[in-house]
């Protein structure tokens, strides 16, 4: 496995002490990102909903390494819950410098003709509404001092998604476009808004939504001939959170896909 920023001991000077909320950080990319910020000396709010035990494990690993972490709960599919989550993160962390809108997922693969209104709402609420509502709630806390908002979008936002995941792809396209639009709107407040677009990443639950044959096909199409790891996504988030490294970067989507799709 390639080294991650935390295993390399890489230190970014302006991240220690930063107050960071990572939504959907009990497992997968979110958990790796939370650990990455913890290793940088940031104060991290871990968010979980369905996997609270895993969220506690992430927080414990950060604390055992000498960092500061809190576990927060909430169903980010609802706007009120998003507002409450962001407010609680601001309270426990004593501020909010970085918001990582990572919560999201395919939910289930369905062809469009089999998508009812309830499923449409479930996918859009999880992937789109959560990013909008959490970002909206964070702005009042960041407008006075500046900050960074980073969303997790997807390669699917540009490719249209794999089989039977068009609604997921469309919801992630919203995230990418919302990122660019919000970046224009809040730049004058010193708030930078960017996104990370992972490709095929070997997350713990990948088999739940992506068959092995589909993974194998993606590997064949990827110039690097493998899937990525969650740890290989972390550096992009740390870079975008650091004003020292990316102070003139806003409205951008960083692709982390092994060359599977290029501009």
Which CATH number fits the domain that encloses residue 111? 3.40.50.720
Residue 157 resides in a domain: yes
* Residue 221: per-residue pLDDT: 76
* Closest-CA residue to 65 (of 86, 88, 42): 42
Q: What is the mean pLDDT of residues 28-39?
A: 98
Residue 6 resides in a domain: no
Residue 6: both structure tokens together: 């935390």
**Residues 227, 218: contact at Cβ < 8 Å?**
yes
**199-231: per-residue pLDDT in tens?**
989 856 655 556 677 667 777 878 888 889 999
Catalytic annotation, residues: 168
Environment class of 164 (CB within 10 Å of its CB; exposed 0-12, middle 13-18, buried 19+): middle
HSE at residue 221, side-chain half, CA atoms within 13 A, is: 13
Range(s) of the domain holding residue 171? 14-256
**39-93: per-residue pLDDT in tens?**
999 999 999 998 999 999 999 999 999 999 999 999 999 999 999 999 999 999 9
Residue 72 resides in a domain: yes
Four-CA torsion 256, 59, 73, 157, nearest 10 degrees: 0
**Residues 82, 74: contact at Cβ < 8 Å?**
yes
**157-215: per-residue pLDDT in tens?**
999 987 899 999 999 999 999 999 999 999 999 999 999 999 989 856 655 556 677 66
Pairing of strands 19-22, 68-73: unpaired
Residue 47 resides in a domain: yes
- DSSP SS3 for 135: helix
Distance CA 251, CA 239 (A): 14
Residue 36 resides in a domain: yes
Residue 9 resides in a domain: no
Total domain count for the chain? Answer: 1
């Amino acid at each position: 496995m390639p080294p991650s920023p935390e295993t390399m001991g890489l230190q970014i000077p302006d991240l220690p002490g930063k107050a960071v909320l990572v939504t959907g950080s009990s497992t997968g990319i979110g958990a790796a990102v939370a650990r990455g910020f913890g290793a940088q000396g940031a104060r991290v709010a871990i968010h979980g909903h369905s996997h609270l035990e895993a969220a506690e494990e992430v927080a414990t690993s950060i604390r055992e390494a000498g960092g500061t972490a809190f576990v927060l709960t909430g169903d980010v599919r609802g706007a009120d819950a998003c507002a409450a989550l962001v407010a609680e993160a601001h309270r426990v962390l004593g501020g909010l410098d970085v918001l990582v809108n990572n919560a999201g997922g395919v939910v289930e693969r369905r062809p469009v003709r089999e998508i009812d209104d309830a499923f449409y709402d479930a996918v859009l609420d999880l992937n789109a509404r959560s990013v909008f509502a959490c970002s909206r709630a964070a702005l009042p806390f960041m407008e006075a001092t500046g900050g960074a908002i980073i969303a997790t979008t997807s390669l699917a936002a540009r490719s249209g998604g794999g089989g039977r995941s068009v609604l997921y792809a469309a919801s992630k396209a919203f995230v990418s476009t919302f990122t660019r639009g919000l970046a224009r709107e809040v730049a004058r407040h010193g708030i930078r808004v960017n996104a990370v677009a992972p490709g095929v990443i070997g997350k713990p639950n990948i088999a739940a939504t992506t068959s092995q044959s589909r993974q194998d096909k993606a590997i064949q199409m990827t110039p690097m001939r493998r899937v990525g790891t969650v740890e290989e996504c972390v550096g992009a988030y740390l870079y975008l959170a650091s004003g020292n490294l990316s102070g003139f970067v806003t409205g951008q989507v960083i692709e982390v896909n092994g060359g599977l799709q290029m501009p």
